[in-house]
Amino acid sequence: MRTFIAIDVNDEVKKQASEVIEKLMRRGFGANWVSEENLHLTLFFLGEVTEQKVSEIAEHLCRRVRGFPSFSFTVKGFGYFRRGKAPRVFWLGVENADRLNRLYEELRYELSHHGFSFEEKFIPHITIGRVKYYPDKWEKLVEDIDFSPVEVAVDSFKIYSSTLTPSGPIYRALYECHFEGGLIRHG
């Protein structure tokens, strides 16, 4: 099954993200927009992983971060990744991410012992849309788009499955790992 590890975001982030998406749509941008209920901060995309391997990974990751201190990060600002001169992905920025980066490194270390390697630099962000089409002079149309700061408290992460459908991906939480030591199996 297609699998990824993520941190959920709170309702205020979801509300503001929906407002940003509506504004972009009104300005002529087309994208595979991330629905409110699917918004999250991806730590790792693992790809196709067997159910047994996911279970094993969940146990090891949870053991690795037992006692990791709860923390928060700030979601602030709007940006995009480009492909050449075209926008490719719209995202919300993340600040105050020192502990988030530390969590990433702990998980990455453990995942490397399970045959995974991640070469790209971790750039924490929340994807809100994968751009399909955009209007002329698009850069001018996104200059005034902003996202007011929202603090997100973190005391756990989740392992999700992702099923691709014609109407968009369906995410299902498989495991949740709490820093105080609890591993919850969902579904």
Which are the contacts of 143, defined by CB distance < 8 A and separation ≥ 6?
A: none
Q: Give mean pLDDT, residues 59-68.
A: 96
* Predicted local distance difference test score (pLDDT) of residue 128: 98
Exactly one of 40, 113, 114, 186 is catalytic; which is it? 40
* Predicted local distance difference test score (pLDDT) of residue 155: 97
For residue 187, pLDDT beyond 70:
no
The model carries a pTM of 0.94
* CA dihedral (39, 44, 49, 54) positive or negative: negative
114 an active-site residue? no
114-162 pLDDT, tens digit each: 999 987 789 999 999 999 999 999 999 999 998 999 999 999 999 999 9
Which has the higher per-residue pLDDT, 93 or 184? 93
Exactly one of 60, 125, 178, 186 is catalytic; which is it? 125
Report the distance separating Cα 82 and Cα 131, nearest Å: 10
Q: Which domains does the chain have, with CATH numbers?
A: 2-185 (3.90.1140.10)
113 an active-site residue? no
